[in-house]
Amino acid sequence: MNILGSLQQLGRAFMLPMIVLPAAAIFSSLSQLPWDYIGLPQLTLYLQAASHAIFTYLPYLFAVGIALGMTGNALAAALSALGGMFIYVGITQTAVPEIEPTVFIGTLMGIISGFSYERFKNLRLPEYIQFFGGPRFVPLFVSFISVLFSIFMIGLTPYIERMLEELGNIVASGGGFGVFLYGFVHRILVVFGLHHLVSHVFWFQIGGYTMADGATVYGDLPRFFAGDPTAGVFMAGMYPTMMFALPAIALAIIHEAREDLKPKIRKTFMYAALASFLTGVTEPVEFAFLFVAPYLFVVHALLSGVIMWVTYELGIRHGFSFSGGAIDFIVNEHLATRGWLLIPIGIVVGLIYYFLFRWAIDRFQIPTPGREEGSHLDEWAGDIPQRAPLILQAIGGKDNIVKMESCITRLRLKVANEKQLDIAALRNLGAAGVIRLGGGNVQVVFGTYSELIRGEILNTIQRDQEQVLFSSPMQGKMIALSEVPDPIFSGKLVGDGVAFIPDKGELVSPVKGEVIHIYPTMHAIGIRTPEGLEVLLHIGIDTSLLGGKGYFKAAVKEGDKVLPGDLLIRFNLQQVRKESKSLATPMVITNSDLVRSWRFAPYKTVKKGQSSVMSVVLKEIQVGGERP
């Protein structure tokens, strides 16, 4: 079993039950409004009760949420976890004194249910009792495990409670350095998507607080919302980083971009900065420099820890239900201690980050987005349905996907063969980064659109339409067909498609098919795909006049079978550039009447053989008809 792969799945599962926490924070904040002035005095009590209910039943939410997250939303696992919690509460309430369910117990029950589902979902029993086989066996199995687990916990719980309280005291004794260490480790684990694991311990386990009604809550987050004045240590310091530091980095990237690319980069990173400031979603900015300057990310992680240390020493206590953005800051300010200090601290932090990153980008010539033509971040939310099939191809197709899930900012995959991943194509299609965790476990960072992308990929797979996927036939830049300086191609009189400006003298096959025609001058070639599409590749404009000069050399002959990436033609790039009207190389489908819809990747730099530059969906075959 791959450890990092299992941990990333568990980390994602932790996020699912936390989605409901912002509602609790909002209800708590709204309850502070003077509702009695508008004749609704009871609304204060209702809102407080709603907020309190969410935290009361948080163990059940974690049990169900983690079970769903670990199994790809398997209802049998969720039902097992919920049933297990009912059994646990029923048995432990017979103890003296009664034992209250905690998030820790909900987490364990969710993990037990998730692993049980994965272990027994395909279980086969003798035919006469097969009704209880497969997924139906899981609730039964978990119920028996829950009984044993509950009895065991009656004896163990008092020791665990004392251990958690002691752990909280130990962490507290570490003072500012302990908070710094947490902030540093948390930031580093963001890279692997495992930060939820360490956060879960500090936010929901460490430290206890007894409320007025005698109930005890554990963890920095529940204690903060329960009114514990000492809580918020492990959350307050994240506000300056998320509200000010990350937007400052985005601003530095914008100002260091090339003048011709600044308008596009400004739009992209202003959205990313706004997302970080308002909601605390930081990955779109962090992944813009993580892969090109990992040492700078380590500096960022160290500074994040220092910021948390400073807020601790100043006695600032603040919390959040989702993340350290402005929305949570405002909603939860009424519960904070000296929370207003986070604003001037944040302004200073923002200035430090802005000048530090501008200096580093310029001094070390870091290729952040906008400093080179091939910058991979792009603003493309409205284009998700168009790109989903291309992303699917870059992943290796539906047969390469073993499991596909998503969290707030990432597509989390388990693939059959990592070698089928086209990293360059994924970045070209909008991925901020691709992280390999081993064992086929891969994370593709698409920002907050990850869930939408997953949905569109699933729709693409379910539609099961007949598609033809095209790879790049050369290294260079992909351009729209309308930009080709020839009215025959730009007017789509020959057919529809795309074009390329090569920076290397090689043309390779973009599809699987058969070579059906090679022009005598060898400047153009035709390929027929198994689906009947006829693809014309034409190197340069007015290059038919260059025949007899030896500038083009075919590596195949008519009738040859070719695969994507197979060499077709070598050509003298410098001479063709010098003696032709343009190097623009159209790739068009000459029998475009067979195509129902087209999808194109962004028009930017591509590599030879890079997958996912164009995809077409074919028209359905008419009854009695036949495709040519």
Q: Active-site residue numbers? A: 407
Cα–Cα distances in angstroms (integers) from residue 451 to residues 386, 410, 423, 574, in the given order = 15, 8, 20, 46
Report the alpha-carbon distance of residue 436 to residue 442 in Å, rounded. Answer: 5
Q: With contact defined as beta carbons under 8 Å apart, do 526 and 516 qualify?
A: yes
Report the alpha-carbon distance of residue 231 to residue 207 in Å, rounded. Answer: 9
Cβ-Cβ contacts under 8 Å for 216 (sequence gap 6 or more): 100, 161, 208, 209, 210
- Give the position of tokens 């879960």: 200
Q: With contact defined as beta carbons under 8 Å apart, do 546 and 578 qualify?
A: no
Instruction: Judge residue 559's burial from the number of C-beta atoms within 10 Å of its C-beta, 0-12 exposed, 13-18 middle, 19 or more buried.
Output: exposed
| DSSP-assigned states of every residue in 488-526 | HHHTTSS-EEEEEEESSSEEE-SSSEEEEEE-TTSSEEE
Cβ-Cβ contacts under 8 Å for 477 (sequence gap 6 or more): 373, 500, 501, 503, 603, 604, 605, 606
Beta strands 513-518 and 605-606 are unpaired
Quick one: which of 162, 165, 155 has its CA closest to 92? 155
Report the alpha-carbon distance of residue 293 to residue 26 in Å, rounded. Answer: 38
| DSSP-assigned states of every residue in 219-232 | SHHHHHHTT-TT--
Query: Computed from CA positions of residues 132, 138, 139, 145, in that sequence, does the dihedral angle turn out positive or negative?
Result: positive
Cα–Cα distances in angstroms (integers) from residue 478 to residues 265, 453, 502, 540, in the given order = 19, 23, 9, 13
Report the alpha-carbon distance of residue 117 to residue 114 in Å, rounded. Answer: 5
Neighbours of 224 (CB within 10 A): 30
Q: Which two tokens stand for residue 221?
A: 């987050």
Residue 602, preceding bond cis, omega within 30 degrees? no
Quick one: which of 358, 426, 353 has its CA closest to 387? 426
Cα–Cα distances in angstroms (integers) from residue 432 to residues 288, 322, 422, 572, in the given order = 6, 22, 14, 35
Q: With contact defined as beta carbons under 8 Å apart, do 325 and 331 qualify?
A: no
